Structure 1
Amino acid sequence: MAPVDQNSILEAVFGILFRGGWVLAPLFALGWFGWFLMIERYGYYFMLKGSRINGLGGFWKTLQKSGEEAAFKKLERRRFGYFYALASDIRNHKDQGPVAVRNAMEATRHRISVNLSKGLKTISTCAAIAPLLGLLGTVSGMVHTFKSIQLFGFGNPVLMADGISEALLTTQAGLLVAFPLMLAYNFLASKVEKVEEIAWSEALKYESYVFANKSEEK
């Protein structure tokens, strides 16, 4: 297998950038920035999701069989999980009563929700701006084409092709940036909402379990 010539790849990339005009440079930067944020958000999502996948089933079984201490030891392996944070609030504030527990849970829920959605609006903005930049490049390419026609008439198709190529490349680039980015954003947003719902419902279930046991002890 012949080695890949990195210089030729770079030349091809820069050739496309030059043919597409100045709009391709911000489009290229916008795409990289959007995907950088997307990958970082996916990492944070999977960190919070971990306890739901690997810990919750074992948590409830261990809680019934061996008690609270053993159950929390299982959760500590996934200590950054959403449910772990809420369950820790219940455990730490249960002696202060239900109101203190619910206030702590609401504060944790708000904090994690803010952290989860921190970059999502920026990602959706990047996906929305990309086709607009592509449209701007289309207009710029057509202006370039009409200037060539004005100066040289229809006798030089090469000069006309440069402007048309610029218009089509930027339109294509805008759609190529926006389409996968928006799909990934919608998928992540739905998954984040699902994790929040499951973690909160399981935490409420644990809260009921804790205070039911406390009332029985009394």
Structure 2
Amino acid sequence: MIEFLEAIRDFTETGGQVLLVIGLLIFVMWLLILERALYLFIWHKNFKNEAVAMWKARTDRKSWFAQQIRQQTISRLTMQLNGSIPIIQALVALCPLLGLMGTVTGMIEVFDVMAISGSGNARSMASGVSKATIPTMAGMVGALSGVFASTWLNRTVKSERTHLEDALTIER
């Protein structure tokens, strides 16, 4: 376990301070993704069953008023389904931008070394190049994993909305 933590520390030192921010961002993004997945698999079923039971208990399902209640129920449950998905999508978009910021700060360090040493000393520029490439890689990995998860969440929410609309039928 200690070796694992030391490897993470070394990786973070190699990537610079921006890598810590990217790591925190990815951690928060995956916490939100996990929360949405748990909501979909556990809590949403209860809310859906309550809404369907409430709808089936109605005697009037064809009037304009009943249709407005149906639309309100579908909209309310859809809003609950979407929950933090817009935040997840924003965090996905932010990952590559922070990676780009890491690239810029790493390249600034390379140019500082070149200005101080007066030449292109490869050893002295190596740490700046790693600080330029590692955050970029981390931002892209975080964004790609988040894109797949948010796409799955959006597809599942759309499917659940369709199932809910089908469950709240108009016929009596």
After superposition, the C-alpha distances for 1:186-211 in whole angstroms (9 at most, x for unaligned) are 1110111011112202321xx30x2x
CA change 1:138–1:34 in 2 (3 A) is same
Contact 1:21–1:137 (8 Å) recurs in 2: yes
CA change 1:96–1:21 in 2 (3 A) is closer
TM-score (normalizing by structure 1): 0.73
Contact 1:24–1:173 (8 Å) recurs in 2: yes
CA change 1:89–1:101 in 2 (3 A) is farther
2:150 aligned residue? 185
1:25 aligned residue? 20
**Are 2:2 and 1:7 equivalent residues in the alignment?**
yes
Instruction: Output the CA distance in 2 between the equivalents of 1:192 and 1:22.
Output: 36
Aligned length: 172
1:136 aligned residue? 101
After superposition, the C-alpha distances for 1:2-33 in whole angstroms (9 at most, x for unaligned) are xxxx1111111011111111111110000000
**Are 2:78 and 1:113 equivalent residues in the alignment?**
yes
Contact 1:94–1:101 (8 Å) recurs in 2: no
Gaps of 5+ in 1: 1-5, 51-79, 211-218
Gaps of 5+ in 2: none
- Considering only CA atoms, is the larger Rg found in Structure 1 or Structure 2? 1
Instruction: Output the CA distance in 2 between the equivalents of 1:141 and 1:96.
Output: 64
Instruction: Output the CA distance in 1 between the equivalents of 2:38 and 2:64.
Output: 33
Contact 1:90–1:101 (8 Å) recurs in 2: no
Instruction: Output the CA distance in 2 between the equivalents of 1:194 and 1:131.
Output: 29
**Are 2:38 and 1:35 equivalent residues in the alignment?**
no
Instruction: Output the CA distance in 1 between the equivalents of 2:57 and 2:66.
Output: 8
Which residue identity lines up with residue 102 of structure 1 in the other structure?
Q
Displacement of 1:101 in angstroms is 3.0
Contact 2:51–2:73 (8 Å) recurs in 1: yes
Which residue identity lines up with residue 128 of structure 1 in the other structure?
A
CA change 1:130–1:102 in 2 (3 A) is same
Give 2:161's match in structure 1, choosing from 181, 192, 196.
Answer: 196
Tell me the percent identity. 27
TM-score (normalizing by structure 2): 0.91
